[in-house]
Amino acid sequence: MSHNTAPPHRVVITGIGAVTPLGHDVETLWSNLLAGKSGIGPIEHFDGSTFPTTFCAHVRDYDHRKFVRHPEYHEHVGLNTRFALGAARQAWGAAGLDDYDTLDRDRVGLYLGSGEGSLDFTNYVATNLAGWSAENRAIDSVAWAKEARQRFDRWGEIEQEANMTLYHLAQELSVGGPAYNCLTACAASTQAIGEATEILRRGDADVMISGGAHTMIHPLGVTGFNRLTALSERNDDPTSASRPFNATRDGFVLGEGSGMVILETLGHATARGATILAEVIGYGSSADAYRITDIHPEGRGPISAMRLALEEAGVTPQDIDYISAHGTGTKENDSIETLAVKAVFGEHAKSVPVSSIKSMLGHLIAAAGAVELITCVLAIRDGKVPPTRNLHTPDPALDLDYVPNTPRDTTVDVALSNSFGFGGQNDTLIIRRYE
C-alpha cells in the first residue's frame, strides 16, 4: 500500500461495457431500457418447469469469443468469466486503451465483484444426468462416473474459483497491476468500483478495470432464493414479474451478466487525451448486520452509506439529480430503501427521480451495481432517466418519484447509485458530469 501524502487523485470513467439480458453491448442495453423492454423469460439453463419460479433474465445468444483477441486462452471458462470478458473488452476498447502504445501495464489493475463460479457442473447434472436413476447408477456406476467426469474435468474444478475471472481478464488484457475480487452479495460490483477508486486516489495505479460478473441461474441458485421467498412466482406473466415499488410486488427476478468500467486518474486520462464520461466523486460503505437477508428496519446501513458518499463527494442531497435505486421488488427492500432516501434527502427526496432498472433486467446479483452505475453514466450523457417498468399500482406507503413506465428527459449532472447485499453490506457511489 502506498504511503504517498500528496493530495488524492481525481478519478474518472473513460470506458464502459456490458453484457446483459437486454443486450450484449452498452448502446443496445441503453436503447432497450429507454424503450421499457423486458429481458425476462423462461429458464433455459436447465429444466425449471417444476420450480416455484420458472422464469429468469438470461443472457441469450452470446458468444464471448466474438469479443476476445485470444479465444484459445479462454476455452474452459464458466459463464461469469464469459460475460466479464465481453464487458471488459468493450470498456477497454471504448476507453481507447488498445491504441495507447505507451501504457504501463504494470500500473493497470483489476478490482471485481465476481460470483462464486459458474456451477456448470450443477447445470450439467440437472439437465444431462437426471436420466440416470439411482438404480441405474448402482448398476453401472462406472459409466455414470465416467460421463460426469468427461463434463467436469480438472478445468471445471479450477473455473469454480471466484478469482479465475481476474486471471482471465489480466491475461486477455496483459495487465499486471493490483488485482482484487470481492463477493459481498448484491453489493459486490458497487463495492469493487468504490475500492478501485480508492486505489487510484492514493496513487497505487493509473488505471483500474472494475465491475462485476455473475450468474446464479442454476438449480442451487433458484432453489435457494425460492426457499428464502425472495423470488417472484408470477409464472403466468414473467415480463411483469419484476415490479419494484409496486403495491403488488412479490419478489425479484434472477438475472445474469456483467458490467465493467475503466477508471483512471484524471492526470493519466488527460495526458493520453481520453474522452472522459464521468467523474467518480463519492463512495460510501457500511454494514448494518441486522439479519442475514434483511436490511435494518430503520434503514441504518443504507442511510450511513449514502451519507458517507455525499460527504466524500462534497455535495448536498439537493445536488443529486437522479438516484439509481437498488430497487429489487421485494416488500422489505423497496420500503426500507424509500425510508432511507427520505431520511437522507429530507424534503428533496420527493423532487429527485428514483428508478430501478431491475424491473427490466432482473437482478444481476454481484454484477447489478456495475450495470446500474453504467446507466447513470448514460443518464448524464443523454439527459434521460430510465423508467421503473411495471409500476401501474403504486404502493401508497411509497411516495417518491419512481419514474413509472416511461423514461424522462431531464438534465442529470450528479447521480447516485445504491446497492445493498445479503449479510448487511451497503454501498453507494456518486458520479458527476466531468467539467
* DSSP sequence for 130-177: TTS-HHHHHHTHHHHHHHHHHHS-HHHHHHTSTTHHHHHHHHHHT--S
Burial 122-143 (b: 16+ CB within 10 A, else e): bbbbbeeeeebeeeeeeeeeee
- Predicted confidence (pLDDT) per residue in 289-326, tens digit: 887 777 888 999 999 999 999 999 999 999 999 999 99
Q: Which member of 168, 214, 218, 363 is catalytic?
A: 363
Q: At what angle do helices 188-201 and 368-382 cross, to 10 degrees?
A: 70
- pLDDT band at residue 421 under the 50/70/90 scheme: very high
Give ∠ CA 17-19-22 in degrees, rounded to 5: 115
Whether 354 contacts 341, CB under 8 Å: yes
Q: Which member of 182, 218, 326, 376 is catalytic?
A: 326
Whether 3 contacts 197, CB under 8 Å: no
Active site residue 326: yes
Mean pLDDT, residues 273-300 taken together: 91
Mean pLDDT across the chain: 90
Looking at residue 4, what is its pLDDT? 59
Quick one: cell of 41?
423469460
Provide the residue type at 292 as one letter: I
Chain center to CA of 329: 16
Looking at residue 186, what is its pLDDT? 95
Has residue 36 got a pLDDT over 70? yes
What are the residue ranges spanned by the domains of the chain? 12-119+160-432, 124-155
Active site residue 214: no
CA distance 323 to 295: 19
Has residue 145 got a pLDDT over 70? no
Worst-scoring range by mean pLDDT, 47-51, 146-150, 265-269? 146-150
Quick one: cell of 435?
467539467
Whether 180 contacts 114, CB under 8 Å: no
Residues 6+ apart with CB under 8 A from 236: none
Q: Which CA distances in Å does 361 have to 11, 39, 252?
A: 28, 6, 10
Has residue 120 got a pLDDT over 70? no
Per DSSP, 336 falls in state H
Mean pLDDT, residues 95-113 taken together: 95
Per DSSP, 7 falls in state P
Q: What are phi and psi of 273, to 5 degrees?
A: 70, 30
Active site residue 186: yes
> What's the fold here for domain 12-119+160-432?
Peroxisomal Thiolase; Chain A, domain 1 (3.40.47)
Looking at residue 72, what is its pLDDT? 87
Quick one: cell of 83?
460475460
Looking at residue 5, what is its pLDDT? 65
CA distance 80 to 76: 12
Q: Which member of 64, 186, 214, 268 is catalytic?
A: 186
Whether 23 contacts 219, CB under 8 Å: no
Task: Indicate the SS3 state at residue 118.
Answer: coil
- pLDDT band at residue 86 under the 50/70/90 scheme: very high
- pLDDT band at residue 220 under the 50/70/90 scheme: confident
Has residue 129 got a pLDDT over 50? no
Quick one: cell of 23?
443486450
- Predicted confidence (pLDDT) per residue in 162-211, tens digit: 788 999 999 999 999 999 999 999 999 999 999 999 999 999 999 999 99
Q: Kindly tell me the sign of the dihedral angle through the C-alpha atoms of 264, 266, 270, 275.
A: positive
CB atoms within 10 A of CB 195: 18
Whether 385 contacts 322, CB under 8 Å: yes
Residues 6+ apart with CB under 8 A from 64: 71, 74, 77, 81, 82, 83, 85, 86
Torsion of CA 91, 24, 27, 389, to 10 degrees: -120
